[in-house]
Amino acid sequence: MRHPTPTDKTIGRLSLYRRLLEQAALAGRSHAYSHDLAGLAGVTSAQVRRDIMALGYHGNPSRGYEINGLVDSIEQYLDQPGGQRVALAGVGNLGRAIMAFFTNRRPHLRIVAAFDTDPDKTGRLIAGCPCHPMSDLARVVDEQGITVGIITVPAAAAQAIADQFVRAGCHGLLNFAPVPLQVPNAVYVEDIDMTMSLEKVAFFARHHTTEEAVVS
């Protein structure tokens, strides 16, 4: 690793920049300045330049960043060469929606196995992906070399599923259950807590406005 591993937030923004750059490339653009990308991403140009420093990629003071080169550089930085395999536990409404959402979206991150306790769901394909009984989780995760787990089971079951993923060798979890998970600190957990997000939005829907009015 040539530069120190940057923080959480930088990684998130690099992922965003890549998507925006890919779109810009499709729209026929070949170069972009830091302030162009900043405008698309909703951040400052200084932020963009800082984030790009982490890549070791260098732009050109007169033409800015060469889009394809920068995308390649982000790819090399973020992605594992052969891609990574992902599993999802909990094939309810949300689980199915997420499986559909990620189908054909990022080919280097494929959901290759789903798990559920309901025998009606197991043993068949769901969104093009085999659904296994929950009891096979450890075996399938190990056999398929799965490194990332998505948790969409009810809150009460989430911790137990997380433990299984971790024991089976996953080092990253994306948790949609509204409970904080306890995991060894070699495991990275990203929580998506929709209830919390909605309550935040509702709160600021009432306060942002008034706040703007009061100048200071």
Partner DNA sequence: GCCTGTGAAGCTATTCACAGCT
Partner DNA sequence: AGCTGTGAATAGCTTCACAGGC
Q: In this chain, which stretch among 1-9, 72-80, 149-157, 187-195 interacts with DNA, using CB under 7 A?
A: 1-9
| 64 near DNA, rule: CB under 7 A | yes
Token readout for 42 is 């909703």
The Cα 168–Cα 62 span in angstroms is 50
Site for DNA in 39-58 (CB under 7 A): 43-47, 49-50, 52-53, 57-58
Other C-beta atoms lying within 10 Å of the C-beta of residue 98: 21
The Cα 36–Cα 34 span in angstroms is 5
The kind and range of the H/E element at 189 are strand 188-191
DSSP state of 182: P
| 7 near its own copies, rule: CB under 8 A | no
34 binds, among DNA, its own copies, none (CB under 5 to 8 A by kind): DNA
| 102 near its own copies, rule: CB under 8 A | yes
| DSSP β-bridge partners for residue 4 | none
Binding region for its own copies (CB under 8 A): 5, 8, 11-12, 15-16, 19, 40-42, 78-80, 84, 86, 92-94, 96-98, 100-102, 105-106, 109, 147-148, 150, 170-174, 178, 180, 182, 185-190, 192-209, 211-212
